[in-house]
Structure 1
């Protein structure tokens, strides 16, 4: 690899047309800059500067090298700048269920990142059970999950009321068997839904399985089937909550809990935990 110091001297000589001016630009003696050019020419095996010309100018080989030398020096400067800038050198990984990655939480995370340029946030959304497993395996520093009951090391938990939802127009809830709209295998609402209907003695089949919250709500709104959803995610959505006679035979659904787990409570993780908890409390 060519030494950037030698290339810097070569470029300075070409751009100034004089050894003396090049030395002044780089803050070195003329003899030093001449020695550095000589070392570069030894590596190249050919003269790179026509010393007889006035002002001096590059040889044919020197002209070919000049563009590459400038690019190498630019990359060298960028690499040095990168090493001086600590931005993004420390990572905090966070796992969230999709429906909790709200605009309010996103704004909180963005504000934290703006105040802590040294820290890089790695935020992942997914199914609660998968997120919980990955947290236990050490993949996340902070995780928020939905579960039946919090574990002993939970930092805080909040109730998550659930309800049965259907399209705005009545009809699908009267089906036998019931058409269901679900999340993929492993989704908590999916298994709770099945348990509730089986305990109530109702027949059912999965009519639609969506991998995202929006796809599930869209399918429910279109009348493809019923679904069990958190009340918090249905606000403003074109779906109808089943209750009373409409929901007869579906069973009362106990709330789940939203739990937050974190590996430590010292800054900066502690600051993030407090921000996430504040957002969850306002849901």
Structure 2
């Protein structure tokens, strides 16, 4: 299926053009959209122009600050996603091994924001026969649950050198705060951290101990949203992967505090998990994250 006829118009909507439009809308960038689709940027621009010509409406506005949807673009976006989802579902009917059944998925707290909602939305739309059970927790807790047989697939962090799971991307950890000057003026560094057994808590404390930098914990919380709220309130510093840093916080200069060891995000599949479902989710994760984060080479 490549074209959808619009009643009352002599032209048709081309799914290739819709795919370019949706990618631009998701990534807010013609450059990133072209990289995701494996097309030249000029080709993606032509797709959008043709789509606007067919509809007789302007769908995107571009200025020095980036790309944003017009009111007509906002109206089209959910319908475009629905049409593309229908195309994928139709194609999947003829695949020999269609993912189906239950997927017990564990996700690290760090990944809850950012691209996760859109990733899950695409996965559910592409594979409606899969029943998704989602658990959000610290990486170590997810590993323990998986070892007990409670999770089929875990998307979480590991320390460099660990061998558990398939590495998807490597991320630099950075120090974040609402007011860098105020934090750096304190003789004892105020820390906002996950409780044990948090990997990032371990790594940042190791970095501070090696440098002999004094510290104290001012806030500990299981939830990233809680830690972010404390950091935005100016209570202290929070450590997060650079490309997953919450909005409203500023990164401290590299020379201000000790460098923290990088982490890797990995997918860990249980031996008894359905191979087709795991492969489908892994493919979608790589496709999503390759455009917004640095994939492991």
TM range (shorter): 0.5 to 0.7
CA contact (8 A) 2:155 2:266 kept: yes
- Counterpart of 2:253 in 1: which secondary structure? coil
Q: Distance in 1 between matches of 2:106 and 2:156?
A: 8
Per-residue CA deviations over 1:184-206 (Å, capped at 9, x if unaligned) read 22112112121111111121111
Residues 1:120 and 2:94 are matched in the alignment: no
- Counterpart of 2:213 in 1: which secondary structure? coil
Cα distance, 1:131–1:205 mapped onto 2, change above 3 Å: same
Aligned to 1:238: 248
Aligned to 1:57: none
CA contact (8 A) 2:178 2:233 kept: yes
Q: Distance in 2 between matches of 1:156 and 1:170?
A: 36
- Counterpart of 1:217 in 2: which secondary structure? helix
Aligned to 1:256: 263
Residues 1:222 and 2:239 are matched in the alignment: no
CA contact (8 A) 1:150 1:257 kept: no
**Whose radius of gyration is greater, 1 or 2?**
1
- Counterpart of 1:170 in 2: which secondary structure? helix
CA contact (8 A) 1:150 1:259 kept: no
User: Structure 2 unaligned runs (5+)?
Assistant: 1-99
Q: CA deviation at 1:265?
A: 7.1
User: Structure 1 unaligned runs (5+)?
Assistant: 1-88
Aligned to 1:281: 290
Please provide the CA RMSD for this pair: 2.4
Cα distance, 1:150–1:144 mapped onto 2, change above 3 Å: farther
In terms of fraction of residues, the more strand-rich structure is 2
Aligned to 2:207: 196
Q: Distance in 2 between matches of 1:184 and 1:148?
A: 17
- Counterpart of 2:132 in 1: which secondary structure? strand
Residues 1:206 and 2:214 are matched in the alignment: no
CA contact (8 A) 2:114 2:244 kept: no
Aligned to 2:115: 104
Which range moves more in the overlay, 151-160 or 255-264? Answer: 151-160
- Counterpart of 2:155 in 1: which secondary structure? strand
Q: CA deviation at 1:129?
A: 0.5
Per-residue CA deviations over 1:216-237 (Å, capped at 9, x if unaligned) read 12212222112222112225x2
Cα distance, 1:252–1:107 mapped onto 2, change above 3 Å: closer
Q: CA deviation at 1:153?
A: 5.3
Q: CA deviation at 1:257?
A: 0.7
CA contact (8 A) 2:158 2:164 kept: no
CA contact (8 A) 1:162 1:229 kept: yes
Q: Distance in 1 between matches of 2:214 and 2:192?
A: 14
Cα distance, 1:244–1:115 mapped onto 2, change above 3 Å: closer
Residues 1:165 and 2:176 are matched in the alignment: yes
